[in-house]
Structure 1
Amino acid sequence: MSYEEYAIGVPGQPWGDAEKAQWLNNQQVKREYKVEVLAKLEDLKGSFEVLQYGALPYDQERYPLFAIKTKAWNDDKPSILITGGVHGYETSGVQGAIRFVKSKAKAYEEHFNFVVLPCLSPWGYETINRWDPKAIDPNRSFYPNSPAPEAALAMDYVQGLQLDLLAHFDLHETTDTDNSEFRPALSARDGIHQDVWDIPDGFYGVGDSNNPAPEFQKAVIDSVEKVTHIAPADADGKLIGTPMEQRGIINYDKRKLFLCGGFSGAKYVTTTEVYPDSPKVDDENCILAQVAAITGGLDYLIKQM
């Protein structure tokens, strides 16, 4: 599908309020944040601090926002930030963050403090959507006075902690709907043609072009490869239209693009990209790949300490 074929708007003309309202009216709740996320956080309260840091203004009762923190916080230990669900439709990012806390975090608390924001975009999670209700992409909105409350509330909370973060793991997916729905919608919304690309079959990571940390990124890939397959380059030697820095890794200027991975100022930053539509994986494998990405990065950091 191209933007010329998208059901909303006039090709070549950016959407106004009427088109955005039409798009919002088409969205439907497909799963429950309360059941799939909030209930799992209840189970963590005995071992971790589970703190509400805000609520989305669309429905504050339905969409409270939570952080999970190390209970026995030690200022002498380096701190790690994990974010999931910036794009609500990227399921394993949310579930992978929760699974890491449940299954692995305690084993690493000897070395690190953790702050985990498992689901920044609960409305997007429920509607299986990339955007928020205002047709804004939260993962292009991490800047001061952000119009996306998903980004603004997360930034305010994390920056308010005044931590010198050692690492930031931002958990994402690349799906077939990136080409079939979300990029055509972006083209239609902005009235600008957006190229589509081959969706990589497998896991890949995105480093920061201003601080690529190649050995750290390699450690993430090596760990994930024990769980699932790594995406090969396309015929042009690229992944999603971007030259590869090394096997399974591309780099973006995360601050310039206002990505979640760019706001934290952490020394080591990686964005994970799981491919849930591959015939080689299932939901559980995708969750385990997210966990492996985190543990691979943490194991590397421990060796540097």
Structure 2
Amino acid sequence: MKMAQENRYPIGITGQQWGEAEKALWLTKQTIKRSYQAEVAAKIAPLAEHFQVEQYGALSYHPSEYPLFVVKSRQWSEDKPTVLVTGGVHGYETSGVQGAIRFLETKAKAYEDRFNILVAPCVSPWGYETINRWNPNALDPNRSFYRDSPAEESAALMAYIADLGIDITVHIDLHETTDTDNSAFRPALAARDAVEHSNWNIPDGFYLVGNTELPAEAFQTAIIESVEKVTHIAPADDVGKLIGVALSQFGVINYATKALGLCIGFSDSIYATTTEVYPDSPKVDDENCILAQVAAITAGLDYILPLS
């Protein structure tokens, strides 16, 4: 019987999980494609004029090149609810990083009186530079937010938040869904884990991922309605799903975020969502994607304002 191996992933043996040799081979194929220092760190530094900029760690892969930053509001008070915005958990998802920075540059000051604002613009700077979903150890930081995490990107952020000793009321994690999810990352995942991952339909438009345990449906609705004024919302596919998951409402699906080790799961926020921008749509450009991320953040905060 002829076995269909034409589409076999170029690393590893079909049916066998990757070991250290395969992961090391994968790493040799990754290259620097853009600059974290020039495109991210250089934009964070001037924010110190209006905010408190702190370095909470550095990636061991190259500590001087990959410092990790958070930006905090100066008017910090235990009487205010705290909002956490995270970007670049998947480093390749550009508008998540640039959207977090743009929010700080243009909108964050207007919310300082009512919120403690805490922004980690780029959780995975190596992933940003190499345009990767994984870190150099072939680990997905957005599946690694749990106790004793093996992904240092995830572990560093969790440790910093834990040291603050605060409750996070709102957590908005900025992401993208790209065509490369099917063409590059899902095939790599299937090969690494020796499991089958059939491709899903890439949603054409913006959508949200909420928490199955705390869906905060009205909060999600408010964000969708605001972002819809900036960019188009992804319709469900032919079977009523987005990325294989049934809709909870228009433009929204829910995941078991803590069980899956997602970033919005670790903060235990009452109001938590993951944004998903579609940058490969012919209907958008880079600026539109950034503005959609900013609109998502501000809509979430505007929803909370009367409740806080």
1:112 counterpart = 2:115 = yes
Structure 2 unpaired stretches of 5+: none
Tell me how many residue pairs correspond in the alignment: 304
8 A Cα contact 1:8 1:22, kept in partner: yes
In the TM superposition, residue 232 of structure 1 has moved relative to its aligned partner by 0.1
CA–CA distance in structure 2, aligned partners of residues 195 and 302 of structure 1: 42
Partner of 1:70: 73
- Show CA shifts across 1:170-212 (max 9, x none): 0000000000000000000111111210000000000000000
Cα offset, 1:303, TM superposition: 2.3
Alignment of 1:195-206 (within 5 A): 195-206=198-209
* Counterparts of 1:11 and 1:41, CA distance in 2: 44
Deviation at 1:3, TM superposition (A): 9.8
1:228 to 227, 231, 238: 231
Cross-structure match for 1:23: 26
Aligned residue in 1 for 2:46 = 43
- Provide, for residues 231-285 of structure 1, a one-character-per-residue CA deviation record: whole Å limited to 9, x for no partner: 0000000000000000000000000001001001111000000000000000000
CA contact (8 A) 2:240 2:247 kept: yes
Residue number in structure 2 paired with 1:296: 299
Is the counterpart of residue 97 in structure 1 residue 100 in structure 2?
yes
Residue 5 (structure 1) shift:
2.1
Letter in 1 for 2:124: S
Contact 1:3 1:187 in 2 (8 A): no
Counterpart amino acid of residue 246 in structure 2: P
Match of 1:274 in 2: 277
For 2:167 and 2:130, the matched residues in 1 are separated by 35
Note the aligned Cα RMSD (angstroms). Answer: 1.0
SS at match of 1:289: helix
Give the AA of the match of 1:209.
T
SS at 1:115 equivalent: strand
Letter of the structure 1 residue corresponding to residue 204 of structure 2: D
- 2:178 aligned to which of 175, 179, 182: 175
Tell whether the 8 Å contact from 1:99 to 1:287 is kept in structure 2 after alignment.
yes
User: 1:14, CA displacement in angstroms?
Assistant: 0.7
**Which residue type is aligned with residue 194 of structure 1?**
H
TM-score by length of 2: 0.97
Cα distance in 2 for partners of 1:155, 1:164 equals: 13
Q: Write the distance in 1 (CA, Å) between the matches of 2:198 and 2:86.
A: 28
Name the CA distance, whole Å, in 2 between partners of 1:3 and 1:67: 46
Judged with a 3 Å threshold, the aligned counterparts in structure 2 of structure 1 residues 258 and 8 are, in CA distance, closer, same or farther, namely same
Letter in 2 for 1:260: C
Native 8 Å contact 1:207 1:251 kept in 2: yes
Q: Give distance in 2, aligned partners of 1:5 and 1:286.
A: 34
Aligned partners of 1:3 and 1:11 also within 8 Å: no
Is residue 192 of structure 1 aligned with residue 228 of structure 2? Answer: no
Letter in 1 for 2:108: A
TM-score by length of 1: 0.98
- Which residue of the partner structure matches residue 155 of structure 1? 158
Unaligned runs of 5+ in 1: none
What amino acid maps onto 1:26 in structure 2? K
Deviation of 1:4 after TM superposition, in Å, equals 4.6
Distance 1:206 1:47 in 2: 31
1:3 touches 1:185 (CA, 8 Å); kept in 2? no
**What CA distance in whole angstroms lies between the structure 2 residues aligned with 1:173 and 1:76?**
33
Runs of 4+ in structure 1 deviating by more than 3 angstroms, as ranges, are none
Quote the offset at 1:116 in angstroms: 0.5
